[in-house]
Amino acid sequence: MGRVREVHRTRGTGGWREKEPVDKRTYDLRRAVLGEKHPDTIQSMANLAVTYSQQGRYAEAEPMKIKVLDLRREVLGEKHPDTIGSMAELAATYSQQGRYAEAEPIFIKVLELRREVLGEKHPDTIESMASLATTYNQQGRYAEAEPMKIKALKLRQEVLGEKHPDTIRSIASLATTYHAQGRYAEAEPICIKVLELRREVLGEKHPDTIRSMADLALTYNAQGRYAEAEPMKIKVLELRQEVLGEKHPDTIRSMAHLATTYHTQGRYAEAEPIDIKVLELRRDILGEKHPDTIGSMADLAATYSRQGRYAEAEPICIKVLELRREVLGEKHPDTIWSMAELAITWNSRGRRDDAIGLMNKCLQLRQTVLGPDHPFTKQSAQTLNSWKNG
């Protein structure tokens, strides 16, 4: 619980509530006056799709982005910058839905095309590099993600400058990778710097500024600094409810993060109703197999388990592990996390041999995927030793 999950950000300034009716009207007018295949009409369709994505309305955005890509391929050709941009937008939508296996090859192709057409140092090429690195990070492939993120950051500092929003985004993205590897001492000062820069450049209520506040709160939480994390998480939730609305995926994520802080402090009676609400919202908005929905199931099972309600926790733990194996793969950090949670539940129910076997597998995977010095790896080793010697 309480892990940073990096998501692909759709480009935009955050004013989607005001933009949507304008984008719709512009698209309708251009389609009527210029026709479906005019480049300006296609651009309006693309703008509307991005506005849907910014609201987390991926089911509406995806078919529109596919149509835009098909039209641009037909009208402009495969290597036109706008066509390549449409490929990148579609890949981002797949990634936002947790469909990393579909997103990754598109991001690789986009990066190759942009290097060929625009050159290595063009901002769009650097954006593609950053997007591919994020996709690696989302799959737990930190050794591939980190050097690519560092390269994207250096290029943005050189080409765009230190205070450009994209440069700041690269700094924030690197902190996410450090956090995911348990390198909180490296992540924290970067998170603080990013928050200060975004407040200065974008303002307090910009979605990216709010995201930086959320990332810093998670870093505090991961270090057990709950008194610092909790008020910041409450503020983030209130800001997202105001700016993005109650059902936006980022708002729901903030609810989940707040529940995590309650959970880690043993305040299960406060955490549980939030866990249930978040799970219901995510099932409704994102679907059963989205990584965030599965994460909510895992959070609820953990809340039951910590209250000694193992009979309720166990079937959820089993389902979460099965879904994560299917959606994320055996070696994804979240899948390994689910193995550990199920092992703990089995041990608490007296299934000692099953628990030791599964925790041993979990330890071996964490040593391979996360490394021997990661906090989760050390935690698995300590738990396994205590069970064997108990």
Q: Tell me the per-residue pLDDT of 191-215, one tens digit each, with 9 for 90 and over.
A: 999 999 999 999 999 999 999 999 9
257-300 confidence digits (pLDDT tens): 999 999 999 999 999 999 999 999 999 988 899 899 999 999 99
Last residue of a domain, one of 265, 284, 316: 265
Can you give the residue range of the structural domain that contains 69?
1-160
- Say which residues have a Cβ less than 8 Å from residue 141's Cβ, sequence separation at least 6: none
Give yes or no: residues 8 and 143 share one domain.
Answer: yes
Give yes or no: residues 224 and 76 share one domain.
Answer: no
Rounded CA gap, 176 and 305, in Å? 28
**Residue 144 belongs to some domain of the structure:** yes
pLDDT over 50 (residue 13)? no
Last residue of a domain, one of 265, 295, 321: 265
The pair of three-digit structure tokens given for residue 166, joined into one six-digit string: 């994209």
39-59 confidence digits (pLDDT tens): 999 999 999 999 988 887 888
**Residue 176 belongs to some domain of the structure:** no
pLDDT of residue 12: 47
Rounded CA gap, 105 and 376, in Å? 30
Read off the pTM.
Answer: 0.81
Give yes or no: residues 297 and 376 share one domain.
Answer: yes
**Residue 384 belongs to some domain of the structure:** yes
Give yes or no: residues 221 and 339 share one domain.
Answer: no
Mean pLDDT, residues 140-157: 96
pLDDT of residue 106: 98
Give yes or no: residues 251 and 315 share one domain.
Answer: no
- Tokens 């108990």 sit on residue: 390
Give yes or no: residues 73 and 138 share one domain.
Answer: yes
Q: Do residues 74 and 37 touch, judged by C-beta distance below 8 A?
A: yes
**Residue 137 belongs to some domain of the structure:** yes
- The number of folded domains in the chain is 3
Count of Cβ atoms closer than 10 Å to residue 203 Cβ: 11
CATH number of domain containing 293:
1.25.40.10
Rounded CA gap, 380 and 349, in Å? 18
Give yes or no: residues 281 and 318 share one domain.
Answer: yes
Of the listed ranges 14-28, 215-229, 273-287, the least confidently predicted one is 14-28
Give yes or no: residues 153 and 191 share one domain.
Answer: no
Give yes or no: residues 254 and 283 share one domain.
Answer: no
**Residue 227 belongs to some domain of the structure:** yes
Give yes or no: residues 230 and 310 share one domain.
Answer: no
**Residue 168 belongs to some domain of the structure:** no
Rounded CA gap, 220 and 175, in Å? 13
**Residue 388 belongs to some domain of the structure:** yes
104-129 confidence digits (pLDDT tens): 999 999 999 999 999 999 999 999 99
- Tell me the residue type at 362: C
**Residue 165 belongs to some domain of the structure:** no
pLDDT of residue 47: 93
Q: Do residues 299 and 1 touch, judged by C-beta distance below 8 A?
A: yes
- Say which residues have a Cβ less than 8 Å from residue 71's Cβ, sequence separation at least 6: 36, 37, 42, 45
Give yes or no: residues 203 and 150 share one domain.
Answer: no
Give yes or no: residues 322 and 272 share one domain.
Answer: yes
Last residue of a domain, one of 229, 248, 265: 265
Q: ∠368-291-361 over CA atoms, to 5°?
A: 30
